[in-house]
Amino acid sequence: MLDEYTHQPRIAYFSMEIALRNEIPTYSGGLGVLAGDTLRSATDLDLPLVAVSLVSRAGYFRQEIDAHGRQVEHPAMWDPRDWARPLNAKIAVTIEGRAVWIGAWLYEHESHLGGRQPVLLLDTDLDENLAEDREITHYLYGGDDVYRFKQEIVLGVGGARLLRALDFEILQYHMNEGHSALLGLELLRRHEYPPENVRPGESPYDLPRVRELCNFTTHTPVEAGHDRFSYDLVQRVLNASIDLAAIKRLAGEDKLNMTRLALNLSEYVNGVAKRHAEVSNRMFPGYRVHAITNGVHPFTWTSEPFRKLYDHHLPSWCHEPEQLVRADCCLSEAVIQEAHQQAKLALIERVRARAGASLDPGLPILGFARRMTAYKRPDLLFTDLERLQAIARKHPFQIVLAGKAHPHDEGGKRLIEQLHALMRQLEGVVPIAFLPDYDMDNARALVAGADVWLNTPLRPYEASGTSGMKAAFNGVPSLSILDGWWIEGCIEGVTGWAIGNDTGADDGDAAALYDKLEQVVLPLYYDPDRGGWARVMKGAISKSASYFNSSRMMRRYAAEAYLR
């Protein structure tokens, strides 16, 4: 069944989450979407890759909003048999002193350009295992530290062993975030010198060889985004045939820091945008963090009306999204506006059906959808309600919001509740809808149907951000704080607009947002000469989408990381 894939060496791409398709809830947000887009573009480019992730049978969660505006979480069960095939290989890892068996499902991604790539979804729900071990691969980001550490053993150590058992020849390993860094310990074990060749006090492992094999992408400057495990826990759970002293040298003396482990085991380390690489270089002195800026998969994130438009005018846009640089010359304002209006009506219909809210196709829509957590500041737009209402009376607009909060993020959940209270408060002046259950399909509708894509993170915590890139593929300009990709993507008034600058204090951000909305963005939208607005839509396509795509990203990973 795997011959088709094992006859040539591959890049092994490890990720705790991966967004394969809307029906498979094995992702929580940006990290998983990026993993999916990585796989999709590698397939378009015929770059041989094998993705390794967990089967996450209970998914992340499905979000419902109750009558009080509070998030309710439901398991998002899926049946791997509907989308994948069981592989008849099994390996074991030792967890808490007992063998935990790991099998896998094969999901095959097919590119609409032709070509296929394998994804291995690791599964511990096997008869051989104790009930508690069968659940290790059930809940994405569920449970406590111990549960998370077990998942990381399954992903890193289990994934590496399974690839070997299945006869994959691996050219390079790529860790998407530190969750899979234990794979490096497995590789060290494979590259151990015979004891008679090791002099006392020297490392018994061929660390340089392992580093040659490994690449690591770090994704966030937020402290909580970097897993740390106490060595008590590590000793209890992990049966490392690697001695603790060696692990501590690589992963930190007081706690096992997965980011540090990945940094020390990888020759090539990447941040996800230029600014993020600079910030990471400061966070991790002594390491060199490169900057291949993220991108999004062209076909996946382009709405049907724009796909048709590009197919007609720029037929090779999917294989070579650089072609989109020509969009500003070869697409007329009328066809762009017509395609956008179709996408906008589709969003309005979705919001009506799923949120029971009616929006007006004649008014501009500000779209804001992202993980609901403090640094993303979904409440920045609502800092001064008087001012917001005054702007809306002058230049009417409406807002669509969406986003999940992690079940343990109390602050994030409170934000969702607060947003719902604000929606009621602003009723009649600023129509606002909250589209529940932000997932791939809702994201696709939102980034295409909004007129302006809003992003207001607290600098420098937005490592890259990718939803604004998706918007650009649909001719939707961004209005954003200068952080992450937008520092590279923003050409003021051409691809969208900046809120404030990228150096000063944050306390002026709300005022800067109101000023820009009131004095620049909304007046341009309402300008009787619609040409000005259409030019910005074209700018988003020709200058942002042509560059911030995962095709460019994967060519760079191939040239600069995998084949270095």
Ligand X SMILES: *Cc1c(COP(=O)(O)O)cnc(C)c1O
Pick from 219, 226, 276, 370 the residue near ligand X by CB under 6 A. Answer: 370
CB under 8 Å to 191, separation ≥6 — which residues? Answer: 205, 206, 209, 210
Q: Are 193 and 203 in contact (CB under 8 A)?
A: no
Pick from 180, 467, 495, 549 the residue near ligand X by CB under 6 A. Answer: 467
Q: Which stretch binds ligand X (CB under 6 A): 50-58, 183-191, 316-324, 437-445?
A: 437-445
Q: Is 30 in the site for ligand X (CB under 6 A)?
A: yes
Q: Is 216 helix (H, G, I), strand (E, B) or coil?
A: strand
Residue number with CB closer to ligand X (266 or 456): 456
Q: Is 443 in the site for ligand X (CB under 6 A)?
A: yes
Q: Is 548 in the site for ligand X (CB under 6 A)?
A: no
Residue number with CB closer to ligand X (74 or 312): 74
For residue 305, give both structure tokens. Answer: 């009306």
Q: Which stretch binds ligand X (CB under 6 A): 27-35, 59-67, 100-108, 180-188?
A: 27-35
Q: How far is the CB of 29 from ligand X (least distance, A)?
A: 4
Pick from 29, 36, 159, 412 the residue near ligand X by CB under 6 A. Answer: 29
Strand extents, DSSP E, 395-507: 398-402, 432-434, 452-455, 478-481, 496-499
Q: Which stretch binds ligand X (CB under 6 A): 170-178, 278-286, 428-436, 464-472?
A: 464-472
Q: Is 449 in the site for ligand X (CB under 6 A)?
A: no
Q: Which of 117, 123, 91, 93 is nearest to 105 (CA)?
A: 123
Pick from 16, 18, 24, 33 the residue near ligand X by CB under 6 A. Answer: 33
Q: Are 80 and 55 in contact (CB under 8 A)?
A: yes
Q: Is 385 helix (H, G, I), strand (E, B) or coil?
A: helix
Q: Is 367 in the site for ligand X (CB under 6 A)?
A: no
Q: How far is the CB of 40 from ligand X (least distance, A)?
A: 13
Pick from 220, 270, 398, 466 the residue near ligand X by CB under 6 A. Answer: 466
Q: Is 178 in the site for ligand X (CB under 6 A)?
A: no
d(C-alpha 109, C-alpha 119), whole Å: 7
Residue number with CB closer to ligand X (186 or 462): 462
Residue number with CB closer to ligand X (103 or 489): 489
**Taking phi first (over 0 means left), then psi (-120 to 50 degrees means alpha), and beta for anything else, what does residue 306 get?**
alpha
Phi, psi of 531 (to 5 degrees): -60, -35
d(C-alpha 238, C-alpha 336), whole Å: 56
Q: Which stretch binds ligand X (CB under 6 A): 115-123, 251-259, 461-469, 513-521?
A: 461-469
Residue number with CB closer to ligand X (317 or 368): 368
d(C-alpha 525, C-alpha 534), whole Å: 9
Phi, psi of 366 (to 5 degrees): -90, 125
Q: Is 438 in the site for ligand X (CB under 6 A)?
A: yes
Dihedral angle of Cα 302, 307, 313, 319, to the nearest 10 degrees: 70
Q: Are 346 and 379 in contact (CB under 8 A)?
A: no
Q: Is 465 in the site for ligand X (CB under 6 A)?
A: yes
Amino acid of residue 421:
A
Amino acid of residue 297:
H
What's the sign of the alpha-carbon dihedral 86, 87, 89, 94?
Answer: negative
Q: Are 453 and 477 in contact (CB under 8 A)?
A: yes
d(C-alpha 263, C-alpha 218), whole Å: 9
Residue number with CB closer to ligand X (466 or 495): 466
Binding to ligand X by CB under 6 A, coded x per residue (else -) over 115-154, reads ----------------------------------------
Q: Is 439 in the site for ligand X (CB under 6 A)?
A: yes
DSSP state at residue 556: H
d(C-alpha 357, C-alpha 390), whole Å: 23
Q: How far is the CB of 118 from ligand X (least distance, A)?
A: 23
Residue number with CB closer to ligand X (340 or 370): 370
Q: Is 481 in the site for ligand X (CB under 6 A)?
A: no
Q: Is 271 in the site for ligand X (CB under 6 A)?
A: no
Q: How far is the CB of 489 from ligand X (least distance, A)?
A: 12
**Interface with ligand X (CB under 6 A):** 29-30, 33, 370, 438-440, 443, 465-467, 470
